[in-house]
C-alpha cells in the first residue's frame, strides 16, 4: 500500500511539474552577432520586421537576440551597420533561421580598411 501511495504521489508531482520542465528546456530562435574586426563597433542589426538600434558590439564581443518564433525567415537579407574609425558603413548578408535554433553571424577582417569586412 505504501508503494502505491508513493507511486501515486510521484506521478502527481511529475505531471504538476511537467510544464515547468518543458519551459526549462524550450529553445528560442535567436541571432548571435560576433564582432572580430578591430576598431569596429556594430550599431544596428535589421531584417524583415526586426531592428535593433543603439548597439555597441565592439571587437571581441558578441550579443544574442531572441526572435519571436512567429516571424521566422528562411532566406533573408540581414543588414549590419557599424562604425569604423568614425565612419558609418553597412554590410549585408543572406541568411536564414530555423525554429528553436541559433544563427551566428561573425564579422571579421579582410584587411586594414574599414570596408574590408567579411560576414559569415
Give the domain CATH number at 61: 2.60.40.2890
Whether residue 16 lies inside any domain: the answer is no
Classify residue 6: in a domain, yes or no.
no
DSSP string, 80-91: EEEEETTEEEEE
Q: What is the pLDDT of residue 112?
A: 86
Residue 101 in domain: yes
pLDDT recorded at residue 93 = 94
When divided into structural domains, the chain yields a total of 1
Instruction: Determine the pLDDT at residue 3.
Output: 65
Tell whether 75 is covered by a domain.
Answer: yes
Res 68: pLDDT? 84
Residues of the chain with pLDDT under 70: 1-26, 69-71
What's the confidence (pLDDT) of residue 22? Answer: 46
How confident is the model at residue 31, as a pLDDT? 95
Q: Residue 83: which domain range? A: 27-119
Model confidence, pTM: 0.76
Amino acid at each position: 500500500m505504501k508503494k502505491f501511495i508513493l507511486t501515486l504521489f510521484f506521478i502527481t508531482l511529475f505531471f504538476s511539474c511537467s510544464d515547468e520542465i518543458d519551459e526549462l528546456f524550450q529553445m528560442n530562435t535567436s541571432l548571435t552577432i560576433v564582432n572580430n574586426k578591430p576598431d569596429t563597433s556594430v550599431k544596428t542589426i535589421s531584417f524583415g520586421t526586426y531592428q535593433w538600434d543603439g548597439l555597441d558590439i565592439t571587437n571581441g564581443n558578441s550579443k544574442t537576440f531572441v526572435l519571436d518564433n512567429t516571424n521566422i525567415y528562411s532566406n533573408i537579407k540581414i543588414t549590419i551597420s557599424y562604425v569604423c574609425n568614425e565612419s558609418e558603413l553597412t554590410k549585408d548578408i543572406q541568411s536564414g533561421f530555423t525554429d528553436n535554433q541559433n544563427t551566428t553571424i561573425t564579422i571579421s577582417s579582410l584587411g586594414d580598411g574599414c570596408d574590408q569586412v567579411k560576414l559569415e
